[in-house]
Amino acid sequence: MNVGKRIRELRKIKEITATELAEKSFISQSYLSDIERERTKPSLDTLFSICHALNITVADFFGKSFELEIDEQLRLIEYKSTDTRIMFELIHKLPENEKRAMISYLNERLKNMNNNIK
C-alpha cells in the first residue's frame, strides 16, 4: 500500500484541503505534502494524528488490506523511538485476532488522548 496516496485519497474523499488536514494533524503543510508524494514516511504518531484528523481509525485507513497484510503495513511506518519499535515488534508476534484487538485498543487510547487535548 502506498501510504501517501492513501492519505491523499482519504483527504479528497473527506473534502479536506491539505492545509486543513495539516493543521488538524498538527504537522506542517510541507511535511504533509512530502508524505503524500512519498518523499517521506509518516511516524506512527503522525499517522495516528492524520487518521484522527480524518475522523477514521488506523484500521479504516488500511481498509481490508489491513486485516490481510497487517505486518507489511506496519513496516511502512517510521518508528521514531526504540519503545515504539519494540512495541510493534511484539504486536507482530501476536495472533491475527489479538493484533486487531491491540490496534483497536491503541486507536481508542489515541482518541481519548486527543479529546483530552481539545
**pLDDT at position 35, please?**
96
Instruction: Please give the residue that has the higher pLDDT: either 4 or 72.
Output: 4
Domains belonging to the chain, first-starting first, are 3-117 (1.10.260.40)
* Interatomic CA distance for residues 8 and 100, integer angstroms: 24
- Supply the pTM of this predicted model: 0.57
List pLDDT tens digits, range 90-109: 877 888 788 878 877 877 77
DSSP 95-115: -HHHHHHHHHHHHHHHHHHHH
Are 33 and 18 contacting, i.e. CB atoms less than 8 angstroms apart? yes
